[in-house]
Structure 1
């Protein structure tokens, strides 16, 4: 996928307002992190560049100045191939236009791609607030429909979890925390179905980091709302971030950043600096990569490192 979706997960407090699986995705600016892009090899053979490592496909495509209509092919495989090419090219609006013509499809592979496209369109800064909300709920519903059709579709589980997290931004803290276990379970199901998906492994790490970092007063609120509120540790988060690197080394700037931040939380400054330097050196191809660069640089400066 070309979405880096793959999203940025900072403090839990910010996530309560913006979504703790954002950057989930992901690379929330325009990079691809899904390992579920069908027909990837065929596309590469044709010389089409597909970035297979990003969670949030937010492209810099200027729709108004280069308006072009994409007409869907009748053949499902052709639609998927067109969709994957547009996703790899970060042409979010054209991708959404293409897949919207198939919103009544009974093909899970089409529907999870439509879920991703709806969610990515909602992430664009130029999308109006009312449209953002509509698109987020729409994205959740498409992913849910994909799961109803094919419960064994790893990508559908992943995107349902991502979209469910973002729906929580509109429904308050109680719903958001209440959905946390459901979100984690869908990520785990996605990994079971596709153990080589580094992005989903990273996202479970973010889930763990989020609840490990939860301030005491928010833990108190969560405990008041739920008998057994979600909890985790930085050691657990580290396991997933390292696992993601083993599956696909340097696949995502944000995973490098989280490795650095997690080692910092675990009081291992030497390893923290090593990973933060890697995050800082990561090629800044997307807006999210630039955000990672800035955060890694700021942390290194605070540690007294030369940058």
Structure 2
């Protein structure tokens, strides 16, 4: 992925992805969407209430009759999310924007962010939604500090907000973002996406050019820093938790081994990243980058 001053210092979240966040540069969906129990809920074809079905079909008419029970709202929201209906999900959850339930609020935060990432969203709406997403996640944390997903989405949305508040704010928030990811992992060590995100955090700050490190040092006495070994450790942990869960994790494994001069292992993971099924724009980007890196290592692809 192309490096640059804007993306290098905490534009790291923007380098992730839809597929996860067109990825944390487009839309954070598939990987970041992991919610314990959601997969089983969809796979087992759990019988939805008639309201849930209407929420997909005659959505606008059914929404006013939606149950106010938290569990019903969560089930309906997760179903719509799994269907990829970003705008419908946002409209549905917006009814509960005054809720004090953390489980509803973090889902609304995610929905706001997903809507902000749509290409058809105007720049003004995108900015409004980015701040709105952060505020919902923040409120979710205030309601329940032990909600792992609230920590995860607050960290993601805080990074997004940094794009509007300047380099100093972005760097200053870096430790806060990392700490919330770490807290999310403490509360839910089985979420591979959050583990991956910390790995990207580490990789990005390990990969800062010297002049950007100098800028960061001028702004802060102890600017964020890390190592490629630390990033690699998290990418490997994410793979252990959920093998092949995300093409970008495979790519980062390959890139990390390249940085550590282990070309044999790098080739293994870059091949896996290249061969990963391509269904989203982000996965196309991963395929392209993996292919280019393989060619640079003398591999015919």
Contact 1:187-1:200 within 8 A present in 2 as well: yes
The alignment status of 1:73 with 2:49, answered yes or no, reads no
Residue 56 of structure 1 is matched in structure 2 by none
Q: Say whether residues 1:232 and 2:226 are aligned partners.
A: yes
Q: Distance in 2 between matches of 1:17 and 1:303?
A: 27
Which digits, 9 at most, give the CA deviation of each residue in 1:181-206, with x for residues without a partner? 00000000000000111100000000
* Corresponding residue for residue 260 of structure 2: 266
In structure 2, distance between residues paired with 1:240 and 1:211: 14
Please give the alpha-carbon distance, in whole angstroms, between the structure 2 residues aligned to 1:216 and 1:108: 41
Matched residue SS, 1:102? coil
Once the two structures are TM-superposed, the CA of residue 38 in structure 1 deviates from its matched residue by 4.7
1:34, 1:197 within 8 Å by CA — same for their partners in 2? no
CA shift, 1:40, in A, is 4.2
Q: 2:109 aligns with which of 115, 128, 135?
A: 115
For residues 255 and 153 of structure 1, the distance between their equivalents in structure 2, rounded to whole angstroms, comes to 25
For each residue in 1:205-240, what CA deviation from the matched residue of structure 2 results, as whole angstroms up to 9, or x when unmatched?
A: 000001001111110010000000000000110000
Equivalent in the alignment of 1:51: none
Greater Rg over alpha carbons, structure: 2
- 2:34 equivalent in structure 1: 35
In structure 1, C-alpha distance between the alignment counterparts of 2:46 and 2:73, rounded to whole Å: 18
Give, in angstroms, the shift of residue 37 of structure 1: 4.5
What is the TM-score when the length of structure 2 is the normalising length? 0.88
Q: Which residue of 1 aligns with 2:53?
A: none
Q: CA deviation at 1:76?
A: 1.7
**1:299 counterpart residue number:** 293
Q: Which has the higher helix share?
A: 2
| Equivalent residues in 2 for 1:268-283, closer than 5 Å | 268-283=262-277
Correspondence list, 1:126-205, <5 A: 126-205=120-199
Contact 1:112/1:155 (8 A) holds in 2: yes
In structure 2, the gaps of 5 or more residues are 23-28, 48-56
> Structure 2: how far apart are the matches of 1:271 and 1:16?
25
TM-superposition CA deviations, 1:27-59 (whole Å, max 9, x none): 1234243432455423322269xxxxxxxxxxx
Residue of structure 1 aligned with 2:237, choices 233, 240, 243: 243
After TM superposition, the score normalised by the length of structure 1 is 0.87
RMSD over aligned CA atoms reads 2.1
